[in-house]
Each structure stands twice: as structure tokens, then as C-alpha cells.
Amino acid sequence: MQKEAANSIIIVDLKQIKKNIESIKNYLAPGTELMITVKSNGYGHGLVKPACYIRNNCGIDKFATSMVSEAVELREAGINCFMMVLGGIPYEAVPIVAEYDLVVPAYDPVFLSLLSDEAVKQRKTVKAHIKIDTGLRRLGVRLGAQLDELVEHVKTLPGIKIEGAYTHLANPNEEDQTITNKQLKEFNAALSQIEAKGITLKYKHVANSDALVRNRATHYNLVRPAALWLGYDPTATLDVQPAITWKTFVSNVLMAEKGESISYFGSCIMKKRTKVAVLGFGAGDGYVRHLVTPEPEKNGVVLIHGQKVPLLSMNMDQAFADVTDIDDVKINDEVYLLGRMGDEQITMDELGRIAGTSTGHIQCSLGSRPMRIYLE
């Protein structure tokens, strides 16, 4: 599709992503590798194009995804290096795991038995990392008897090679790292328990983006950030910057009188005479609905003529903004939903704060309808 046909365009600066990755690498201790986590449509940046660019231009040879479907998409795009699925895997996907040489979590004995049978059938060895549940209570086995049973079971399975272990932190974003340090202590005990069983672990990993910057003890010899390489550092420790700009346009300008309703269902009543710009995007593009309420002062903002203005209402395909204080707003003017315009900037962090949700929620909500353009 030609960019001229799109109502809204998401521009991803791949050169900025490369700079972000270099900043992360420089922060890591020697011997700690960087595994790039690419999931959820690349947190709105796209899954395949950024990953291919990173593989070819950033010296990265390890990737992680959340689901098998994402890993397969990357494989079919030509990324043939280390590829780990971090999340749960349906039993029906076992043949695909073996076929595409994916690294998998080891915590479910039934899954591992099925995978062993398939690996033997395909004459392959599938690599797995034992998932330790240290407190998040999602996936994994607990320290002690449950871990012992899993290790003993895996040792009987042909076609499965345990090459690593990992856990996931429950509170990595907190300045007080007490809970994280407790989880690390349990993870270290699990590592000792595994190695006492005669298994040598090539990879040990814990750190997501928050943990990587807040607590160096989480680094081990592999880290797996997602949001950080996209420019979102919750601590402002690293020199990383957002790599995304989202633009749309003004499709109409009108005056709404005090007491007049705009949008559907009489849901937005003007408190004063208001100049309204109608914008060429809506909820169908993935803009989080929590950002638009009946109270404009609490709503998300957009940039028009370099000034921040509040949204008034949003439909599936169009939105309304209060441009009363901006002179000469006209049809076809450029509007920024994310990015820098003049001296002002809107970031996903800012929108997350306004919406009372996480930056990740804002990122992952970005839909497929906005056209993506990648700058190399």
C-alpha cells in the first residue's frame, strides 16, 4: 500500500533501535549475552521487519518470542539463529517446535514426553530451558521435590537437551528490590539443585527490561529485554530513545456551541464554545480507549501545530480534539499521536500514565491498520 492511501502512519526508526541495542550491550558485563525478545507485534513496531534488521545489523544471534506462532513467523522470514519460546506451548504445536528448531521451556512432563517422541521421529535434538517458578506463579516448577522429579524425568527422554534455566520476576520495576532478591536467592538454589543432578547449564537468564537496568545481579550470562531495545527505560539509566512516530491528519474543523453534543450517543457535551478538529484515526487503529473519557482534562493528547491538545471523544475510525487555542487549524493538517513535533513530544510512557495503565499496554494495543514505514 502506498503511504498516501493511509489515514495514519507509524514510522519506526530502525537506526534508533540499533543505537538502543548498542547502549544496552555497553551496560552489560563481559560474558553476558543479549537475547532480544520480540513479541506482541513487536510492541506495536511490527514483528518481522525490526527483528530482521536487528539480526542483520546489530550483531544479535539470539531471539525470544512469547508464542510458537511468533517464532515460526520469524523463522519463515529467514531468521535461522537461536530462537526461544518463553511462554506455554500447546501440545498440538510439538511437531512444529521440532521442525523449526525452537528452544522451549521445560516444566511440564507430559509436554516433554511428547516432544521427545517427536524429536526422535524427526531425528532431531530439541533444546530446552528449565523454567523455575520463584514467585510469579505462572509457568514453571518449584524448588525441591518438583524440580527433582522434572530433572529425573528429562534425563530419561531421548531427543531433549537441557541447556539452560530461567525464571521470571514478579516485581522487577520496584525501587525496593527485596522481592526480586528473594526470587534470585531461590533461583540460585534451583541452579545448584539442577547442576547437582549432573546437568551443565549453558544459559541462565532472569532479566527483562526493568530488571536489567535496576539490578545487575539479575544479568547472569543472558538477558532478554523487550521494551528496552525499543527505547523505554523506566529508570532513565541508559541512553535509549523511543523509535516510533505515529501520525494522522485533520479531516474536518468545526465549531461546537456550549451544550452541543458531538460524537455518538450524546456522550460528549461541550462545556463551552469549542473549536473541534476531527482526526483520521480511532479505536480501530489500536488507540487505547481508556485515553478518551467524558472529562477532556483527563484524556490523552495529540500534537497539532506543535501544541498538545486534549482528545474529546473517539469512535472506531475517527476522533475529536479541542483545538480552540490553536489558530489556523485546517483540513489536512498533520497530527502526531506519538513522537516529537517542534519542542513538544508525546511518548508511550506519557500515554500510559494518563490512561492509568502500563507502557506495554499502550504499545501492544497498536493495531495493524496504521501503515508501518521503516527508516534504515
Where b means 16+ CB within 10 Å and e means fewer, 60-75 reads bebbbbbbbebbbbbb
Asked if 264 is an active-site residue, the reply is yes
Cβ-contact 247, 8 below 8 angstroms: yes
Beta carbons within 10 angstroms of residue 7's beta carbon: 18
Beta strand ranges found along 155-291 (DSSP E): 160-166, 203-205, 222-223, 244-256, 261-262, 268-269, 274-279
For residues 294 and 270, the answer to whether their CB atoms sit within 8 Å is no
Question: From the candidates 3, 202, 258, 264, which is the catalytic residue?
Answer: 264
Contact (CB, 8 A) for 111 and 89: yes
Q: Which of 100, 66, 65, 64 is nearest to 80 (CA)?
A: 100
Q: Are strands 126-131 and 104-106 parallel, antiparallel or unpaired?
A: parallel
- The yes-or-no answer on residue 39 being catalytic is yes
Residue with cell 513496531: 45
d(CA 29, CA 6): 44
Place of cell 506495554: 360
From CA 341, how far away is CA 59, in angstroms rounded?
A: 32
Which of the residues 39, 62, 131, 204 is marked catalytic? 39
* Other beta carbons within 10 Å of 232: 25
Enumerate the active-site residues.
Answer: 39, 264
